[in-house]
Amino acid sequence: MDPSQIAQTALYQEVAERLRQRIFSHELPPGTRIDEQALTVDYGISRTPLREALKVLAAEGLVTLRPRRGCFVTEVSEQDLDDIFPLMAMLEARCALEATNRAQPADLARLEAIHAQLEHFAGSNEIKRFFEANQEFHYQIQELSGNRRLRQVIQDLRKVLKLTRLFSLSIDGRLQQSLAEHAAILAAIKAGDALGAQIAMHDHILSGRDALARSHLPQELLR
């Protein structure tokens, strides 16, 4: 393979990751039109790696390519959430069950340390850092499940949910509710109660959907 082709592949992947982070941080909020010309100037690249990067993000559901109109950051609808959350609940619940059956003392210690961070960030009302620790808690359970294909499907769905997830934690009382739900999941895993962990995780994910339903998100963020 031509070495220049390897470099080109690495370039579009790097561009995709930069745009992905800008979308997750809401620097590029839902509905924003991607200005391809401005980005090629900002990043010092040609249109080719940028368009390849946008194809990657489109496959992940983070941007929408509209013929003759351009590329836009995906706007998540109520129907999207109703479609995604039950799937997430089922898949992550299965992860929790499998993780419980595989958990070793070192794994439990790692989850306990992350939960301690969740308690700290909830106590100081640091929503962004709680969100990040929450992501790590779920990721560790997914890793512990040992089910690679299950992990991949969950991560793809979570990328889309990142377009709205922070807002559910901003709802009055949701932070402490989420913390209690994580505590229930951890307690079940530590007790070796695989079915209990499965149920607790399933209920936790659907609770997040209920919180979003109560949030009355601005229409520019949820359509």
Mean pLDDT by 10 residues, the chain (223 residues): 56 93 90 93 93 94 90 90 94 98 97 98 92 95 96 91 73 89 98 98 94 61 37
Residues 125 and 189 in one domain: yes
**Is residue 202 included in any domain, yes or no?**
yes
Q: Based on C-alpha coordinates, what's the Rg of the chain?
A: 19
**Is residue 222 included in any domain, yes or no?**
no
pTM of the model: 0.80
Structure tokens at 156: 């793809």
The predicted structure's pLDDT at residue 76: 86
Residues 143 and 200 in one domain: yes
Residues 103 and 61 in one domain: no
The predicted structure's pLDDT at residue 25: 86
CATH number at residue 53: 1.10.10.10
**Is residue 221 included in any domain, yes or no?**
no
Residues 189 and 111 in one domain: yes
Neighbours of 132 (CB within 10 A): 13
The predicted structure's pLDDT at residue 4: 52
**Is residue 195 included in any domain, yes or no?**
yes
Q: Could you give the C-alpha distances from 22 to 11, 40, 63, 192, 221, in angstroms and in order?
A: 17, 15, 12, 40, 15
Output the CA angle 144-147-61, nearest 5 degrees: 105
Residues 178 and 109 in one domain: yes
Residues 29 and 132 in one domain: no
Residues 52 and 86 in one domain: no
CATH number at residue 194: 1.20.120.530
Q: What domain range includes position 200?
A: 78-215
Residues 192 and 96 in one domain: yes
Residues 64 and 122 in one domain: no
Q: Could you give the C-alpha distances from 91 to 33, 108, 156, 180, 181, in angstroms and in order?
A: 32, 21, 12, 21, 17
